[in-house]
Amino acid sequence: MFKTLDDLNPEQRVLVRLDLNSPVEDDEVQDNRRFDRHAETVRELADAGHRVVLMAHQGRPGGDDFVSLEQHAAILAKHVDHDVQFVADTYGDEAIDAIESLSAGEVLLLENTRMCDEELPEEDPEVKADTEFVQTLAPYFDAYINDAYSAAHRSHASLVGFALELPAYAGRVMQTEYEANSSIATREFDGQVTMVVGGTKATDVINVMNNLGDKVDQFLLGGIAGELFLRAAGHEVGFDLDGMDFFDDQWEANRDTIESLLDERGDQIKLAVDLAYEDDNDERAEIAVSDIDEKDRAYLDVGSETVETYDPIIRDSEAVFVKGALGLFEDERFSVGTVGVLRAISETDCFSVVGGGDTSRAIEMYGMDEADFGHVSIAGGAYIRALTGAPLAGVEVLK
C-alpha cells in the first residue's frame, strides 16, 4: 500500500503535511480535534529525534478564515506538549534559515501554504512537483510525510508535489483515516451494513447513496436529504422561508437520482415516519409524516418514533457508517435523532465510522465517548469521496 512511519530511517529531516484547517471566530482560531489527532504524529516524530518541519493550510484566499498559522503553532504545541516554532514564510529565505537552524527533535511550522501562489490551482502531481515552491523546499529534506487525509482529495502542491520528489510516507492520521474510511468500499462484512444519511449537503450524500450500489443494505435518512426523499414519496415537506429557494433548488438538482433510487432500492431506504418542529411556545413538537397536509413549516429533526424504528436496525448491523446529522443537533431540542442513532451505535459492538466535522461534534457535545465508536473521522470532502471508493490524489501519490 504505502510506507508508514514504521519504515522511516532514523534522524531524518522530515517535511510533514498536516490538515489544521479550523473554524475561525472573531480572528481567533478555534481548537478542535484535528490538532489532537495530528499531535500524535508530530510527537512520535519529535520523540524519535527527527527534525520536523510542518506545512498546513487555513481557509482560502479572499475568505475571512484565510489567516496566518501563528495561532495554530501555539495550539498544536499545547496538544503535542512540545515547543512548536513558527516562521511567517513558506519557502523564502526566512523559511530556509529557520529550517536549517533546526536541531534534532525540534518542530517548526511554516506559514499557510495557500499564501503561496503555486499551492492552489488543482493540477497534476507532475505539474505541482515542478513548481518553485516544491523545487526550492524539497532539497532541504530526506523524507515527505503526508498526514493530511482530510485534504487529500485536493491536488495541491503541498499534498501531491513533494511525494514525487522525496521518499514519501503516510503519517498516523493518514493511515487510520484511510483504513477506516475506505472500508465500506474495500471490506466484506458478514452481516448487515447500514448507512445513516443526513446533514445539509444533500447533493453530496445522495451521490454517495447512488454510488454505493449493493455495498449498503439499509439507508436511514434524516436532515435535508431525508426531506427530499419524503417529498419524492408525496409528502408536503421541504418548506422554504419567504424569498428562499433552498429546498426547491435541492429538489431540482437531485430529483432524478432520488426517484431512480426509490424506484430501484426503495425497500432499502428508510424514511422518517415523524418529524419535529418548533411550536408557538418555542418548544419541540412532533407530527406524524402521514398527518402533514400542508407545506407550512420547517422541520428540524426526525421524530421519536423514527428513532425507535432506526434503533433496532442499527443494533442488528455488522457495520454502520454515518454521514450527516439527522437534525439541528446544536440545539438540544432537535438533537433527539442524531443523539439517538449515535447512542445506539455506541452501545453495540458493530464496526462504525462517523464522518463529517459537524456530525462528529455531536459525540462530545452530548457526553458520548469517542472510544465507543470504531472510528470518528476528521474529514469532510475526503470522507465523502472515500465512501464511494473514489481515489484521493494525495493518497495515490503515496502508493
Ligand X SMILES: O=C(O)[C@H](O)COP(=O)(O)O
153 lies in the site for ligand ATP, by CB under 6 A: no
User: Which of 125, 171, 199, 303 touches ligand ATP (CB under 6 A)?
Assistant: 199
**CB-based contact 273:309 (threshold 8 Å):** yes
- How far apart CA 310 and CA 195 sit, in angstroms, is 11
Nearest Cα residue to 173 out of 8, 360, 43: 43
User: Which of 201, 284, 375, 385 touches ligand ATP (CB under 6 A)?
Assistant: 201
- How far apart CA 33 and CA 80 sit, in angstroms, is 13
Angle subtended by helix axes 336-347 and 304-315, to nearest 10: 20
Nearer to ligand ATP, 203 or 346 (CB): 203
220 lies in the site for ligand ATP, by CB under 6 A: no
Nearer to ligand ATP, 140 or 239 (CB): 239
Q: Which residue has the CB atom at the shortest distance from ligand X?
A: 21
- Close Cβ partners of 58 (under 8 Å, ≥ 6 residues apart): 20, 21, 22, 24, 29, 65, 66, 67, 68, 69, 72, 112, 114
Per CB under 6 A, residues contacting ligand X are: 19, 21, 60, 150-151, 154, 380-381
User: Which of 136, 192, 200, 257 touches ligand ATP (CB under 6 A)?
Assistant: 200
- 201 interacts with, out of ligand X, ligand ATP, none, CB within 5 to 8 A per kind: ligand ATP
User: Is residue 337 a known part of a binding site?
Assistant: no
The minimum distance between CB 381 and ligand X, in angstroms, equals: 5
- How far apart CA 180 and CA 366 sit, in angstroms, is 23
Residue 225 corresponds to which amino acid?
A
* DSSP helix, strand, coil percent of the chain (3-state; round to 5): 45, 15, 40
151 lies in the site for ligand ATP, by CB under 6 A: no
Nearest Cα residue to 303 out of 287, 280, 282, 291: 287
171 lies in the site for ligand ATP, by CB under 6 A: no
363 lies in the site for ligand ATP, by CB under 6 A: no
The minimum distance between CB 25 and ligand X, in angstroms, equals: 16
Rg (alpha carbons) of the chain, rounded to whole number: 23
- 41 interacts with, out of ligand ATP, ligand X, none, CB within 5 to 8 A per kind: none
Q: What is the SS3 assignment for 318?
A: strand
User: Is residue 355 a known part of a binding site?
Assistant: no
- How far apart CA 230 and CA 238 sit, in angstroms, is 9
Residue given cell 532539497 in the structure block: 139
Q: What is the SS3 assignment for 378?
A: coil
User: Is residue 172 a known part of a binding site?
Assistant: no
The minimum distance between CB 359 and ligand ATP, in angstroms, equals: 3
Nearer to ligand ATP, 162 or 299 (CB): 299
- Close Cβ partners of 242 (under 8 Å, ≥ 6 residues apart): none
- Interacting positions 283-312 with ligand ATP (CB under 6 A): 299-300
340 lies in the site for ligand ATP, by CB under 6 A: no
51 lies in the site for ligand ATP, by CB under 6 A: no
197 lies in the site for ligand ATP, by CB under 6 A: no
User: Is residue 57 a known part of a binding site?
Assistant: yes
Binding residues for ligand ATP (CB under 6 A): 198-201, 223, 299-300, 323-325, 327-330, 356-359, 380
Known binding-site residue numbers for ATP: 330, 356-359
